[in-house]
Amino acid sequence: MNYFEGNEFFLFLLAVLIIGFIINYFEKNKEYFIIFVSLFLVGNIYGKSITMLLYLMLFLIFQYSLIVFSQKTTKACQTILVGLSVVPLILNKLFALTQFHFMAFIGISYMSFKTIQIMLEISDGLIKEKINLKDYLQFLLFFPSVSSGPIDRSSRFLEDIKSSMTRKDYLELAGTGVFRLVLGMFYKIVLSTYVYQFLFSLTNTGTIVYSIKYMYLYTLYLFFDFAGYSLMAVGTSNILGVQTPMNFNAPFLSVDIKDFWTRWHITLSTWLRDFVFSRVLMRAIKKQLFKKRLHNAVYAYIVNMLVMGFWHGISVSYILYGFYHGVLMAAFEIYQKKSSFYKKNKNKNWYKLLSWFVTMNLVVIGFFIFSGEPYKLLKVILRK
């Protein structure tokens, strides 16, 4: 069994959603039922590998200890503890380059960002109430989003999980949830599989035509696969009475690169905006790293997107992908602020259409870099 894969999981999910529907319909407390299901799935899925289960347990104990200490210590110590909370993820990415995959378990990237969010908000004074072990495990191991997001915020999630909706509001949310779940299954099981067959059938000829076909097909495959999973996660959450945030909002309608990152992997981009970009920018301004605010913003965009690249993994393709989008975001920031042409034409339909066309092709090139295919392509060209 694995999350949102195979007949066994979906049959189990059906039973869970029926029980969850009954609990919410009668406006009963749902948190103990959900944590029981989440822990049951942890036992079944992570328990297939004793090593993976031990790594998960070690991670949970280590991070919860940091949270407990952080709520009892000074601001200076909290900063150190925030740094320590990043260590498991860094070790996981570093050891992924070797044959010894230390701290390798399903969902470590998403769980790490959830824990870092808690630590940073404790340090900022936004979280003052004690986070008990049950709430911590509920948040990190919430089964619809544990392996691939969306990345929720602890305060919002815990408020949802502890409250009961009126029957009318719940039925509306559950109806939306069923639609999202079915649409997500169609995206992931049907459309992503269909596109992947075309992608898999391509032969690397080392030509521009091959590259164009690959980058567009890969972009479609990535969207249907990831957006499909996200929709299933959100739809499942909704039926259970939890309003997990959406992760995609028609990204292929984006008219510029900033617009794209408000539509694609929304929970990741907003997490990075709140906890990386804004902090890097304010620190750069405070330290007067650059004389002009625009230059500080450019610097913050590049750092922000490089963190996004490293979050995916320490490989050339991921790091270049992050740097590529950092440069695009920085360049667009300069263009927005400095270009009279942009200010004069940004609201005109012809400009929006042209900007959309350019943006989509830049996005597709980015996913081509992300896929790692350019390096395979280079090898084929060098053999000729």
Contacts of residue 98, Cβ cutoff 8 Å, sequence gap at least 6: none
Report the largest interatomic distance among the alpha carbons of the chain, rounded to a whole angstrom: 69
Distance, C-alpha 282 to centroid of its chain:
24
Classify residue 74 by burial, with Cβ atoms within 10 Å: 0-12, 13-18, 19+.
exposed
Q: Which residue has the tokens 């295919």?
A: 373
End-to-end Cα, the chain, rounded Å: 45
Contacts of residue 34, Cβ cutoff 8 Å, sequence gap at least 6: 20, 138, 142, 143, 161, 240, 242
CB 235 within 8 A of CB 219: no
CB 147 within 8 A of CB 209: no
CB 20 within 8 A of CB 241: yes
Task: Give dist(CA 289, CA 299) in Å, integer.
Answer: 9
- Read off the tokens for 165: 């909706």
Is 312 labeled as catalytic in the residue annotation?
yes
- Read off the tokens for 374: 């350019």
Taking CA atoms, 44 is separated from 108, 132, 144, 246, 337, in Å, by: 17, 25, 15, 27, 53
Task: Give dist(CA 152, CA 146) in Å, integer.
Answer: 10
Nearest to 134 by CA among 116, 161, 152: 161
Catalytic residue among 101, 295, 312, 325: 312
Q: So which residues are the catalytic ones?
A: 312
